[in-house]
Amino acid sequence: MRGAEGTRDRRRNKPVMNQAITEIPDAVTSENSPSADELRKIDAYWRACNYLSLGMLYLCENPLLREPLKVEHLKKRLIGHWGSDPGQSFIWVHLNRLIKKYDLNMIYIAGPGHGAPATLANAYLEGTYSEVYPDKSEDAEGMCRFFKQFSFPGGIGSHCTPETPGSIHEGGELGYSVSHAFGAAFDNPNLIVSVVIGDGETETGPLMGSLHSNKFLNPVCDGAVLPILHLNGYKIANPTVSARITSEELHSLLEGFGWAPYFVEGDDPPVMHRKMAMALDECVNRIRSIQGDARRGGIQERPRWPMVILRSPKGWTAPKKLDEHQLEGYWRAHQIPIPDVADNPAHLKILEEWMRGYKPEELFDANGKLIPELKEMAPIGKQRMSANPHANGGLLRKSLRLPNFRGYAAPVTKPGISQALPTYILGEFLRDVMRDNMANFRVFGPDETASNRLEAIYAATKKTWLAEFKPEDLDGGELSRDGRVMEMLSEHTLEGWAEGYVLTGRHVFFASYEAFFHIIDSMFNQHAKWLEKCKTEVKWRASISSLNLLVTSTVWRQDHNGFTHQDPGFLDVVTNKSAVVTRIYLPPDANCLLSTVDHCLRSVDYVNVIVADKHPHPQYLDIDAAAKHCEKGIGIWSWASNDLGSEPDVVIASAGDVVTLEALAATAILREKCPDLKIRFINAVDLFRLQPTSEHPHGLSDRDFNSLFTTDRPVIFNFHGYPALIHKLAYRRANHENMHVHGYREKGSISTPLGLTILNQVDRFNLAIDVIDRVPRLKTSGAHVKDWLRDQIVENLAYAHEYGMDKPEIRDWKWPCA
């Protein structure tokens, strides 16, 4: 046993220490300690979990080992992870004790989601699994099916997938457990979110950043998060950093992050059960005292919330060695601990003895159901972590109360004459959404809510801040302990909070700089996958609110920040994911933005990506026209077109705000310089209208697409993002070979707004040149105009280089054909 002695050894190597480590001692008991009989039952329950975990990894027959184990009882392919399971089940059974003892409302998040056999075993033992999937009944046949389906074709995945009752976190991609946990805890004052963090997971950037979440949790109106760092020492094939620094260093690190860590260390189950029970009692008492003090007397200081460091062997309770290799307590226990059981009779015997060592015959009755004495160790009904409605958040979801977005409209009497600041106007709408939904709506942004011009929200609520306040904060700091705007400079943490918040049945709006959305590409991917499964396969999961992402501070107005801030590629990432859950909107003006956001806030089960710049822009549509245009998703702007009653010579199309302005300016130039040219102007708000209906539910029918874009006329498409995306969406369309897409060509620089568009050829002059080149009858007759257009490019760039800004007629451009 590696216990206190080993710990002392490590401590000889002493770094600086701030405060004594709270380590639960081996031999001390308190009046509060569980009785010997309770500990015996906890251990038996844990053995049942471990038995089931191994059953899932290995068996497809003989589930209770009522016959000698033979090769034909084994799955042909052995897939899954053992190493994390026993520690996670150990944690789960102890949390069950806690829930019952203190009548808690608790959910469980498995950071190392590959330890799913632990979560699944517990869901099965609690009866939830059989309630949700009746064929996995609590008897030998049901258990057999339960084992067989695990990580098996046609069955379930090997992680805490959406099919897993009680899970809101798949844990396939490590790093987001703590941020998800906090998202779940916000505005859930009676909830405790237990979150197991893998010690390998702790090495990820997102996890480390998320440890700061405790500065954003309000003990009065939020619930608690109880992190349990699962220090089992190893990842797939390496030791973990956290396990190979001294306990003092680890303690200092976590204390520095503001936590009060309780160390539970060892490998002797009876001792460890008692220590874990004591540690968790301490944690609950501490949580209750923090919350009680704050709820009675207000928040005096930032709470130091408890957490547990569980140092126990990886693959705990496995054979110590397999042949000459260490198994328990080493990375070799990570996946299938004994891989060659089918070919190696001696190893098959070891597996059998190992499984029999849990004494299944003492744990399950004649039918194969967990015996009543152990059944009663788990909570019942909704108090089971596997059945807690917070982990099926749609059940708790209430629609937002939304003010009428028309009341916030930018006045537009004629198209393209007046200017407005779209995101500022949106901020006014969101302010009132916030006012009417002060318990289930939050706004997220990495230090940028004001920068993105959504600052009107602060009139309804401030930014959450539980760290130190300084006098100067009163001067525009907008900080408050009970604020509902979440700002931290970690896109990962914010995205994780936002996901945790919607997954538990609430509503979010997340705004971030366009270029830095890439930081959460992968998190978006995972969330989209989760949603897709829930929507298409896991019918018992209730619909949750959409994840609403505002992509702002966009590429086209980063002329001053330069190249690093220019990247519209998040949209490409989004289009890779299932059409069932992805939506992309590019509202061209403020009123379209209002209508779009109103729609998104009402929707469920999507990721809504809305692209809108934060600078003043010309306004085109009054609020009624905007609502209609957004409803259609794509349409002809007849006021910009002159092809009424005839076939157009060219279609000019746009998707995006800045590129719409340039496309309109090009249209105006062409209408003046080539008055005979028949132009049709199309604007797309809903990008997926471009895809065929067979590819996306928002896709236009071919008939509608062809009548809009024609089947034979050149289409000059000015797009906000990378041009290839439009080709990808529209490549099956009849007129695709006539589509010429302008978009960001990765030409970034410090420039003026027009200069940047010229660099990438989405500017009015280059667009007009392209039209002349593509319309057969203008090819030669348009030469003079083309020449003039080239002059304009040269002159405008020269002006920008001389004065550092665009010419007044560019800056103050208005639609001239009104």
Ligand X SMILES: Cc1ncc(C[n+]2csc(CCOP(=O)(O)OP(=O)(O)O)c2C)c(N)n1
Q: Which two tokens stand for residue 665?
A: 């300016």
CA–CA separation, 79 and 634 (whole Å): 48
Closest CB to ligand X among 198 and 329?
198
Q: 750-753: long-range contacts at Cβ-Cβ below 8 A with a sequence spacing of 24 or more? A: 750/559, 750/560, 750/562, 751/559, 751/800, 752/559, 752/800, 752/804, 752/805, 752/806, 753/556, 753/557, 753/559, 753/658, 753/806, 753/810
Binding mask 761-800 for Mg ion (x = CB under 5 A): ----------------------------------------
Shortest spacing between CB 58 and ligand X, in angstroms:
18
Is residue 335 within 8 Å of residue 82, measured between CB atoms? yes
Pick what 115 binds: Mg ion, ligand X, none; C-beta below 5 to 8 Å, kind-dependent. ligand X
What is the nearest approach in angstroms of Mg ion to the Cβ of residue 371?
32
The H or E element containing residue 420 is strand 419-420
As measured in angstroms, the least distance from the Cβ of 335 to ligand X is 9
User: Contact with Mg ion (CB under 5 A): which of 138, 199, 567, 598?
Assistant: 199
Distance CA 307, CA 302 (A): 15
Q: What is the dihedral of CA 467, 473, 478, 481, to 10 degrees?
A: 30
The site partner of 173 among ligand X, Mg ion, none (C-beta below 5 to 8 Å per kind) is ligand X
**Residue 798 interacting entry, from Mg ion, ligand X, none, C-beta within 5 to 8 Å by type:** none
Which of ligand X, Mg ion, none lies near 637, with the C-beta cut-off 5 to 8 A by kind? Answer: none
Output the residue with the shortest Cβ distance to ligand X.
Answer: 198
Sheet strands (E) in 478-519: 479-480, 485-486, 507-513
Q: How far is the CB of 661 from ligand X (least distance, A)?
A: 41
Question: Looking at 93-101, 199-207, 536-544, 742-750, which segment touches Mg ion (CB under 5 A)?
Answer: 199-207
For 222, the 3-state DSSP assignment is coil
Report the C-alpha dihedral over residues 634, 639, 645, 649, rounded to 10 degrees. Answer: -70
Residue (200 or 618) nearer to ligand X, CB? 200
Question: Binds 315, which of ligand X, Mg ion, none (CB < 5 to 8 A, cut-off by type)?
Answer: none
Residue type, 32: N
* Single residue of 232, 312, 595, 619 touching Mg ion by CB under 5 A: 232
Among ligand X, Mg ion, none, partner that 236 touches (CB below 5 to 8 angstroms by kind):
ligand X
x/- track of binding to Mg ion for residues 122-141 (CB under 5 A)? --------------------
Nearest approach, Cβ of residue 274 and Mg ion (Å): 23
Mention every residue, 6+ apart, whose C-beta is less than 8 A from residue 549: 510, 511, 512, 517, 524, 607, 608, 609, 610
Q: At its nearest, how many Å lie between Mg ion and the CB of residue 26?
A: 23
What's the one-letter identity of residue 129?
Y
Q: Which is nearer to ligand X, 16 or 237 (CB)?
A: 237
- Amino acid at site 50: N
* Cα torsion 672, 673, 676, 678: sign: negative
According to DSSP, residue 508 is labeled E
Find the shortest distance in angstroms from Cβ 231 to ligand X.
8
Q: Which stretch binds Mg ion (CB under 5 A): 164-172, 229-237, 426-434, 445-453?
A: 229-237
Task: Please give the order of strands across the beta sheet that includes 634-636.
Answer: 634-636, 679-684, 650-655, 715-719, 739-742
Q: Check binding of 282 to Mg ion (CB under 5 A).
A: no
Which segment (230-238, 262-270, 444-452, 796-804) binds Mg ion by CB under 5 A? 230-238
547 contact choice in ligand X, Mg ion, none (CB below 5 to 8 Å, kind-dependent): none
The CB-of-159 to ligand X minimum distance in angstroms stands at 9
Query: What is the smallest separation between the CB atom of 247 and ligand X, expressed in angstroms?
Result: 17
Query: Among candidates 496, 483, 501, 549, which has minimal Cα distance to 201?
Result: 496
Q: Which residues pair with 610 in a beta bridge?
A: 550, 585
Taking the complex as a whole, how short is the minimal distance between the CB of residue 59 and ligand X, in angstroms? 22
Nearer to ligand X by Cβ, of 334 and 733: the residue is 334
Closest CA to 774 of 653, 644, 645: 653
Q: Which is nearer to Mg ion, 232 or 792 (CB)?
A: 232
Residues that bind ligand X (CB under 6 A): 83-84, 112, 114-115, 172-175, 198-201, 204, 230, 232, 234-236, 240, 314, 334
Task: Quote the DSSP letter at residue 418.
Answer: S
Nearer to ligand X, 201 or 598 (CB): 201
Select 73 or 235, whichever has its Cβ closest to ligand X: 235
Judged by beta carbon, residue 232 or residue 423, the one nearer Mg ion is: 232
Judged by CB, which is closer to ligand X: 89, or 660? Answer: 89
Comparing CB distances to ligand X, the nearer of 91 and 226 is: 91
Interaction mask 142-181, Mg ion, x per CB under 5 A:
----------------------------------------
Residue located via tokens 């695709």:
736
**Regarding beta strands 463-464 and 507-513, do their DSSP bridges make them parallel or antiparallel, or are they unpaired?**
unpaired
Q: Which one, 143 or 207, has the nearer CB to ligand X?
A: 207
What does 441 bind: Mg ion, ligand X, none (CB cut-off 5 to 8 Å by kind)?
Answer: none
Task: Please say whether the beta carbons of 737 and 678 come within 8 A.
Answer: no
User: What is the size of the binding site for Mg ion (CB under 5 A)?
Assistant: 4
Instruction: Name the residue nearer to ligand X (CB basis): 106 or 228.
Output: 228
Cα pseudo-dihedral 477, 492, 313, 339, rounded to 10: 180
In the 3-class helix/strand/coil scheme, how is 513-576 assigned residue by residue? ECHHHHHHHHHHHHHHHHHHHHHHCCCCCCCCECEEEEEECCHHHCCCCCHHHCCCCHHHHHHH
Count CA within 13 A, CB hemisphere, residue 613.
26
Q: Least CB distance from residue 243 to Mg ion, whole Å? A: 7
* Residue listed under structure tokens 């995006």: 656
Q: At closest approach, how far in Å is the CB of 799 from ligand X?
A: 49
Per partner kind, with CB cut-offs from 5 to 8 A, the member of Mg ion, ligand X, none near residue 183 is none
Q: Site residues (CB under 5 A) for Mg ion?
A: 198-200, 232
